[in-house]
A = this chain, B = another copy of it.
Amino acid sequence: MLPFKSILKFDKNSAEAVYKQIASQLVLLIQKGILMPGMQLPSTRVLAADLGLHRKTIMAAYNALIAEDWIVSHERKEYRVSTLLPIIKPRSYAGQARTNYTAEAPFLFNEPQVRTLAVLSGKHKLIVDDGFPETDIFPVERIAEEYKKLLTHHTLKKASSTWSIGGSKFFKDELAAFLNDTRGLNIEPENLIVTRGAQMAIYLAASLLIKPGDKVLVTSPNYFLADAIFTQLGAQLIKVPVDGEGADVDAIESALINNSIKLLYIIPHHHHPTTVTMSSVRRVKLLRLIKDHQLSVIEDDYDYDFQYQHSPYLPLASGDHNGNVIYIGSLTKVLGANFRLGYMISGVDFLNGALKLKSLIDLRCDVLMESTIASLMQSGEFSRFIKKANKLYNHRCGFTANLLSNELPHLLEFVKPQGGMALWLKFKQEHSLAGILNKASSLGLKFGGSTYLKKHNLGYEALRFGFASIDENNIEFAVDVLKRTL
């Protein structure tokens, strides 16, 4: 017999009944494998004497364990650890990758080759990103303050008892007003649902529209994770070129005439990756094509809020499109990677479909975060912050462009974008971008944004230089490193 007297501890003054204390400890001994399946336990009389407890206490403990299948008794005399217990020795998943799953089976799209999605190494002095905001100017105190104000038992209870698959009312109201103000839209909150970033909105919209074999019009190059979604859904991509005025609308027209096109995906502002803004002339023609062909369009307008001309180009969604444009955007480019507040704008029927699908994937929104940002929208702080950020990014855009023009005209070329957070640097043919990246990395500079090498068949090599998040010293450092790679 195990030395139960020294193993089983109890406290008669505890709020928990002694029999429960004994029972709990016996279960632990079973779980730890000290009491093995099938092992006989001492009789209630013997254990009671050993522990100096009343026999009824031990019986109560044993009965509790019998009720929970931990032990079995033979005519209430002989007690044994159940042999039917799950084997509870901690199991590792290492080397246990078995499931009816082959890693490549369900994927129709290629692993994004363009940009590594792995965590970037920390050994570099500077990581140039794909075009993310400057976090140093975020109103973090105000956000924390609002968040704290909202994080109350009352608001949590309310969040618990109401559903918000497509966003909370307060946020949707404020967001709709903000979008109407800034984008020449005229939507009601019911024309808007909130998603985890623009990414989820693209996934939901594409999933509703695309059936395997459908043809989807995209630019070449294109935002690689949009292409990946369409391919994963079984679509055939029909590619049109992008030049200095944006997507080639004549090529879109030809494609519409020659094919049955299910969907056009387009980024008219600061196209990803090339940063080109579509010209007014092409916008007008594209709107006409959309109407004439009743063409479904996903307009991805991920960084509309950062335009550096006198007055912004408005989105296609603000034009005359017969409801064919599904407008997708995000606050992530304003507030940074941690705040994944995307949205989709469309007719109510389409959004109801999107919500139905979303309920399978992401059942609730982050009501607290939504309310926090809605408060900043309501007070005007959100718009003032965008204005401030716009000024800074415009300055950094000019600073980076000047420095690159002056220092590296022999290495690369670019067109200064009309807005956004990145420059699209095309490297001249005589230089190998892979070589440059390796050399730069050894000098402490990593490019973490979209990078297109020869193998991607663009006809040139290029990368996105996200200038918005980098101060002047670091921009100078980056340009200097690029110079030293030669």
Q: Which residues of B contact A3 (CB under 8 A)?
A: none
Quick one: which of B99, B228, B363 contacts A296, CB cutoff 8 A?
Answer: B99
Q: Which residues of B contact A368 (CB under 8 A)?
A: 338
Stretch at the interface among A43-51, A178-186, A250-258, A378-386: A178-186
Whether A86 pairs with B283 at a CB distance below 8 angstroms is: yes
Whether B185 pairs with A232 at a CB distance below 8 angstroms is: no
Q: Which residues of B contact A95 (CB under 8 A)?
A: 323, 347
Quick one: which of B136, B287, B311, B348 contacts A28, CB cutoff 8 A?
Answer: B311
A103 to B347, CA, bound (A): 11
Whether A129 pairs with B160 at a CB distance below 8 angstroms is: yes
Q: Which residues of B contact A243 (CB under 8 A)?
A: none
Quick one: which of B191, B225, B317 contacts A360, CB cutoff 8 A?
Answer: B225
- Chain B residue, CB-CB nearest to A192: B93
Known: A187-B92, A367-B338. A311 touches B362 (CB 8 A): no
Whether A314 pairs with B86 at a CB distance below 8 angstroms is: yes
Q: Nearest-CB distance from A391 to chain B (Å)?
A: 10
A447-486 interface mask toward B, CB cutoff 8 Å, 1 = contact, 0 = none? 0100000000000000000000100000000000000000
- Chain B residue, CB-CB nearest to A19: B310
Q: Which residues of B contact A229 (CB under 8 A)?
A: 360
A2, CB-defined interface residue at 8 Å: no
Q: In A329-364, which residues have CB < 8 Å from any B CB? A: 336-338, 340, 345-350, 352-353, 356-357, 359-364
A87, CB-defined interface residue at 8 Å: yes
Stretch at the interface among A137-145, A398-406, A431-439: A137-145
A361 to B287, CA, bound (A): 28
A59, CB-defined interface residue at 8 Å: no
A159, CB-defined interface residue at 8 Å: yes
Whether A101 pairs with B69 at a CB distance below 8 angstroms is: no
Quick one: which of B27, B322, B363 contacts A197, CB cutoff 8 A?
Answer: B363
A165, CB-defined interface residue at 8 Å: yes
A72-97 interface mask toward B, CB cutoff 8 Å, 1 = contact, 0 = none? 00000000001011111111111111
- Chain B residue, CB-CB nearest to A111: B356
A68 to B366, CA, bound (A): 39
A311-331 interface mask toward B, CB cutoff 8 Å, 1 = contact, 0 = none? 101101111111110100000
Q: Nearest-CB distance from A283 to chain B (Å)?
A: 5
A180-215 interface mask toward B, CB cutoff 8 Å, 1 = contact, 0 = none? 100011111001000011011001000111010000
- Chain B residue, CB-CB nearest to A368: B338
Whether A69 pairs with B153 at a CB distance below 8 angstroms is: no
Known: A84-B284, A161-B129. A347 touches B151 (CB 8 A): no
Whether B101 pairs with A350 at a CB distance below 8 angstroms is: yes
Q: In A91-128, which residues have CB < 8 Å from any B CB? A: 91-101, 103, 105-107, 109, 111-112, 117-120, 127
A31 to B228, CA, bound (A): 37
Quick one: which of B64, B196, B318, B320 contacts A310, CB cutoff 8 A?
Answer: B64
A317 to B179, CA, bound (A): 47
Q: List 23 A-B contacts (CB under 8 A).
A: A65-B310, A86-B287, A86-B313, A88-B319, A90-B185, A91-B319, A93-B188, A93-B191, A93-B345, A94-B191, A96-B322, A97-B347, A98-B324, A100-B262, A101-B296, A111-B356, A119-B163, A119-B169, A136-B153, A138-B156, A147-B148, A199-B362, A366-B366
Across the A-B interface, the 10 shortest Cβ-Cβ residue pairs: A96-B323, A97-B347, A27-B311, A90-B186, A69-B280, A135-B156, A144-B148, A98-B323, A93-B191, A99-B296
Other A-B pairs beyond A94-B188, A156-B337, 10, CB < 8 Å: A86-B316, A91-B320, A93-B323, A100-B294, A100-B296, A129-B161, A160-B338, A161-B448, A232-B360, A366-B366
Residues of A within 8 A of B (CB): 20, 23-24, 27-28, 31, 64-65, 68-70, 82, 84-101, 103, 105-107, 109, 111-112, 117-120, 127, 129, 132-133, 135-136, 138, 140, 143-144, 147-148, 151-153, 156-157, 159-165, 169, 180, 184-188, 191, 196-197, 199-200, 203, 207-209, 211, 225, 228-229, 232, 262-263, 279-281, 283-284, 287, 294-296, 309-311, 313-314, 316-324, 326, 336-338, 340, 345-350, 352-353, 356-357, 359-364, 366-369, 448, 469
